[in-house]
Amino acid sequence: MPDTGFAARPAGESPAAPPIPVKLLVAGGFGVGKTTTVGAISEIAPLTTEAEMTSAALGLDDPGVRSAKTTTTVAMDFGCVTIDRSLKLYLFGTPGQARFGFMWDDLARGALGALVVVDSARLDDCYPAIDFFERAGLPFVVGVNAFNGRVAHDLTAIRWALAIGDHVPLVQFDARDRLSVRDALLVVLDRALDRATRERET
């Protein structure tokens, strides 16, 4: 028998159930690090819909003075990561520009939670995402992306500026770092599962 690389299952043992799929969104304003976040954690080559920014976007798309960004997501980003044998996350990154906002309702359908990525130097850009998830009633976590390892304000000041309640987790993470992204997504997952558990009990 050829070696397939998989350990043989003992006789009589039932096959393991496939992992439960969980859909999460990675949302936020333009140029905050959503595509980077999905790419850092995905166990497959992430599907992206990046397009070159052109002069037609001048005055519409502003990634900030610190950014060297030359492309933009025009539909969505997609990646996935297996948490353990029982759970697999499917990540959908939303486009950041307001003119693509019509896609958010479709992307949010079936999602259990969201990570709202924030650039602490451009807090105004994340208000629409926070408003969207508050109106939709979808559990979300605000993740402050530490560009170059730093944030412009401390988390307490950011929470006050965003006017989010204490029930909304606020974390700092690095969108380039796999383990940092993992920890942020686990907070989202924990909140989403807690919400689902409470809804089943009522």
Q: How confident is the model over 168-198, as pLDDT tens digits? A: 999 999 999 999 999 999 999 999 988 888 8
- How many domains does the chain fold into? 1
The SS3 of residue 65 is coil
Between residues 134 and 103, the one the model is more confident about: 134
Average pLDDT of the segment spanning 97-123: 85
At residue 200, the pLDDT reads: 78
Tell me the pLDDT tens digit for each residue of 53-73: 444 444 444 555 554 444 554
**Residue 174 φ/ψ, nearest 5 degrees:** -115, 115
At residue 194, the pLDDT reads: 85
Query: Is residue 7 domain-resident?
Result: no
pLDDT at 96 > cutoff 80: no
pLDDT band at 75 (very low <50, low <70, confident <90, very high): low
Q: What is the mean pLDDT of the chain?
A: 82
Query: Is residue 121 domain-resident?
Result: yes
In 44-120, the DSSP E strands lie at 50-52, 71-73, 77-84, 87-93, 113-119
Distance CA 178, CA 38 (A): 9
pLDDT at 97 > cutoff 80: no
Average pLDDT of the segment spanning 31-48: 90
Instruction: Identify the CATH number of the domain in which residue 27 sits.
Output: 3.40.50.300
Sheet harboring 20-28: ordered strands across? 77-84, 87-93, 20-28, 113-119, 140-145, 170-173
At residue 34, the pLDDT reads: 93
Structural domain of 77: 20-55+68-201
Tell me the pLDDT tens digit for each residue of 126-176: 899 999 999 999 999 999 999 878 898 999 999 999 999 999 999 999 999
Query: Is residue 109 domain-resident?
Result: yes
Name residue 3's beta-bridge partners. none
pLDDT at 100 > cutoff 50: yes
Query: Is residue 12 domain-resident?
Result: no
Distance CA 189, CA 185 (A): 6
At residue 145, the pLDDT reads: 96
Dihedral of CA 158/161/162/164: which sign?
Answer: positive
Distance CA 129, CA 191 (A): 18
User: Is 104:132 a contact under the CB 8 Å cutoff?
Assistant: yes
Query: Is residue 61 domain-resident?
Result: no
What's the gap between Cα 55 and its chain centre?
28
Query: Is residue 63 domain-resident?
Result: no
Average pLDDT of the segment spanning 9-24: 76
